[in-house]
Structure 1
């Protein structure tokens, strides 16, 4: 039956088959797991598709060339570095009207060039870029997800920035997706309270009597906590 734990008063109303303990820490852990599941499930249901996306199969989806030249190459966006020099910049931004200040942007990129760099800026007023990487000697395909949180929806502007080094780099960007999502504060572990609080929980479970058998044993425990 339910037991008292750490001087907390527990009253078990009914127990049907099996000994079952209901310590507060187990209840709180279960509550946190259910809350996390509910948040994730709600987010998945709402996010039926990206708010903006482009796979560059047919065109450049209206991207805004701010500096340098970007062209469609084999169904992807490629920086045209053939006539560029060391230190040249290649910059484009996403033509999307944002409705929320927070979300994430995902993309696939191929980056080869030992002394070049690529970064993504997502907030106009941000002093630092949300994502930065240096080129490597060999070209590698990478999928990246960059979360962002700006001061307001008007502050959001997703911009891709490439700086060329002394060696002409290979820069290809593909499959850009933007998800604008509601922001949810992370669960914070609260300090134990000295106030008296009560909570009611009902647990039901059906457990097999053996791993191969089909019969089940019912378990039900109703507990009232005061701590």
Structure 2
């Protein structure tokens, strides 16, 4: 956990900064690892600073290790003692549940601020994004038009890939009954679909699957959020 010094940022501030600074939706596991790694780095730095003691202090530590009484040991190398204690303590890991609670609190706070920015869960992680009702102003600033609409053939092809992935082009064409090469290519150019492997069938055709951008486009946290197929 972050050092509870007077000027240290709170855990909530750190998590907020991680989400803001990430170039992709940052996952709970990534956040957890970063927090643990920084604590380990800070601990090592403190340990190295504490170990920069005089020769006299080092001799006192050695004397304590050789059998001084606890009272004598209490007076030996006061600068080195915190380092020795620090080195023996395990690095504390923030639980996934605690991170989820922090992020839920942040989501609520940004929603209550009504600031035009929202914290959302997407593509298996968390990210900040412009509130949807402010989108047209941001697009104007960025000189971007409205997002391209998917054609009906593209939607049908994308649905097949999403629900049946990994799937080959021939399987897509068998289901749709028409050639699908140009549609698959267009979906790949939109970064909604990607090649995720090869089939074991003769000729080893490419297998297609969806991308994180697909989840973003449809506002899904993961593929598990796809609506069940109606029978």
The TM-score range, normalised by the shorter chain, is under 0.3
Higher relative CO (Cα under 8 Å, sequence separation at least 6) belongs to: 1
Q: Which has the higher strand share?
A: 1
TM-score, length-normalised on structure 1? 0.23
